[in-house]
Amino acid sequence: MHYPMFSHAPEPVDQPQQTNEERTVALYVESTLEPHESWAALTEYIHLWWPRQLLQSEESHIDLSTELLLEETADGDIIPVARVVQHENEDVLTIAPYQGTRLGRLMGVAEESEESLSIILDALAPETAEGPLSLLEISSGTYAGREDEELGIYEEQEEIAELLMGAYARFIGAELQREEL
């Protein structure tokens, strides 16, 4: 309730967001790379694995700053592709694509909505010396880090999530894993 006349009106309570979308698939990449190496491959070497289908031209390349995901064209033009919502080193990277970019169009970003994707790194304890050491998972929305948080991809974002994680997996010599939810 809102009581504008009273100076000690109760604070609004955060309501859980209602959504009709269901997360339909989990997409992840297990790797024998150390967690810091997986993270560096994801962030520092993003220009080496970013899918060409998401760039304006073959000569363009992508760069990740602390606030933006940027594309630099062969002509030297800088195009903001996405806003970096979250960048916790060796933990989570969340991007919110801009409307009108190839990434934004594939994600169905509209003016009144803010779609985002989070890539979350988990360090694994290998069962054997050859076991995976890190796991990178992609999830729709902004990752809050809660233990009970539901992860996974919405059906309408599945194509773009597979494209991104598939390119990353090929770059590090791993395979994209898929699990129906």
Task: Summarize the confidence of residues 126-154 as an average pLDDT.
Answer: 90
**Dihedral angle of Cα 73, 77, 83, 87, to the nearest 10 degrees:** 70
Q: How far apart are CA 146 and CA 74, in angstroms?
A: 42
Beta strands per DSSP E along 51-123: 61-64, 68-72, 78-88, 92-97, 117-123
Count the Cβ atoms, other than its own, within 10 Å of residue 116. 21
Top-level CATH class of 23-49+84-180? alpha beta
Using pLDDT thresholds of 50, 70 and 90, give the confidence band for residue 69: very high
Q: Give the pair of three-digit tokens for residue 18.
A: 């209602």
Residues 6+ apart with CB under 8 A from 33: 41, 133, 134, 172
Q: Return d(Cα 105, Cα 29) in angstroms, integer.
A: 25
Q: Tell me the whole-structure pTM to 2 decimals.
A: 0.85
Mean pLDDT (the chain, rounded): 87
What is the C-alpha to C-alpha distance for residues 2 and 63, in angstroms, rounded to an integer? 45
For residue 62, give the nearest of 171, 176, 181 by alpha carbon. Answer: 171
**Does pLDDT of 12 surpass 70?**
no
- Residue type, position 111, single letter: E
Alpha carbons 125 and 72: distance in angstroms, whole number: 39
* Cβ–Cβ under 8 Å, residues 162 and 176: yes
Structure tokens at 99: 């409307």
Average pLDDT over residues 171-181: 97
pLDDT in tens, 91-105: 999 999 999 899 999
Weakest mean pLDDT among 45-49, 102-106, 162-166: 102-106
Give which of 23, 7, 34, 20 is closest to 124, Cα–Cα.
Answer: 34
